[in-house]
Amino acid sequence: MDSFKVALFLILLMMVTVEKVSSEIVCQDILEEQLCASQVKMDKSQCHEEPWNSKCRKTCGRCDECYDAESMMTCDSQKANCDDINVAHECSRTCGVLGCEKVMSKRKC
């Protein structure tokens, strides 16, 4: 029975942590905004290419888009680091932030 209580506690802790992380992560440009702006001005399609797809989310207007900019394999290995602003911007789907909060809550249903 004690192992059940420990498991339940860990699950609740993870849920609270995910909620806390998602409320603290604010969409921004990880790179300098001028660099993002000049790059996007040259070619808007850059917003879908690395590194701009994660490093320039704000300038690209992709704050509310739910996606993993890095490969799924990379994001899976970074799940424990979702509170890091770089990881959150690169792996928003995996971390459940930056437009993915609604997607994540639908998956729970």
**0.85 exceeded by the pTM?**
no
Q: What is the pLDDT of residue 36?
A: 93
DSSP 43: -
Q: Is residue 47 part of a domain?
A: yes
Residue 59 · residue 37 · CB < 8 Å: yes
Low-confidence ranges of the chain (pLDDT < 50): 16-22, 106-109
Q: Is residue 81 part of a domain?
A: yes
**How many Å from the N-terminal Cα to the C-terminal Cα in the chain?**
27
Q: What is the pLDDT of residue 67?
A: 93
Q: Is residue 67 part of a domain?
A: yes
Q: What is the pLDDT of residue 101?
A: 79
Q: Is residue 51 part of a domain?
A: yes
In order of 1, 23, 83, the CA distances from 62 in angstroms are 46, 17, 19
How many angstroms separate the CA atoms of 61 and 38, rounded? 14
Q: In terms of residue numbers, what domain contains 97?
A: 27-106
**Residue 60, token pair as written in the block:** 């690209």
Q: What is the pLDDT of residue 99?
A: 86
Q: What is the pLDDT of residue 19?
A: 44
Q: Is residue 97 part of a domain?
A: yes
Give the number of domains in the chain. Answer: 1
Task: Name every residue whose Cβ is closer than 8 Å to that of residue 38 and which is 6 or more positions away in sequence.
Answer: none
Q: Is residue 18 part of a domain?
A: no
DSSP 79: G
How many angstroms separate the CA atoms of 73 and 45, rounded? 24
